[in-house]
Amino acid sequence: MPWGLVYSPESPAGQMYPGLPLHPTQLYEMVLNLIIFGILWKLRKKLNVNGHLFLLYVIMYSTARIFIEHFRADKLTYFENFSAAQTIGVIGIVLGITIMFLLKKKLWLTVQSRTRNT
């Protein structure tokens, strides 16, 4: 790959993969985090439930991390070709969506309770 990074022999990556061009996953992660930041910045005033902006970050970062892990050379695999970071990413997505749903439901129930009492 033309954009692959060859690490110096003194670095851990250079010792494991001497002279081999590797995907610059740090750069991929940086670019994806900037994209996530841009999306969250645009949505910051539209999300009306406390915590939803943070949870949306957790969901989006977890998704990005699952994608990035496919290109890492040093990933720890557990299930077939599924890494520890991908497992944590799936957990982050599931928990993020679940908590977002519960917070939205709690807000809805609070509003319903207030309208009945007035």
The per-residue pLDDT for 102 is 92
Match 């969250």 to its residue by tokens: 40
- For the chain, the average pLDDT equals 89
pLDDT range class, residue 44, cuts 50, 70, 90: very high
pLDDT range class, residue 8, cuts 50, 70, 90: very high
Task: Specify the DSSP element, H or E, that contains 77.
Answer: strand 77-79
CB count in 10 Å sphere of residue 57? 17
Res. 39: pLDDT tops 80: yes
The per-residue pLDDT for 57 is 98
Res. 114: pLDDT tops 80: no
Q: What is the pTM of this model?
A: 0.82
| CA neighbours closer than 13 Å in the CB half-sphere of residue 30 | 4
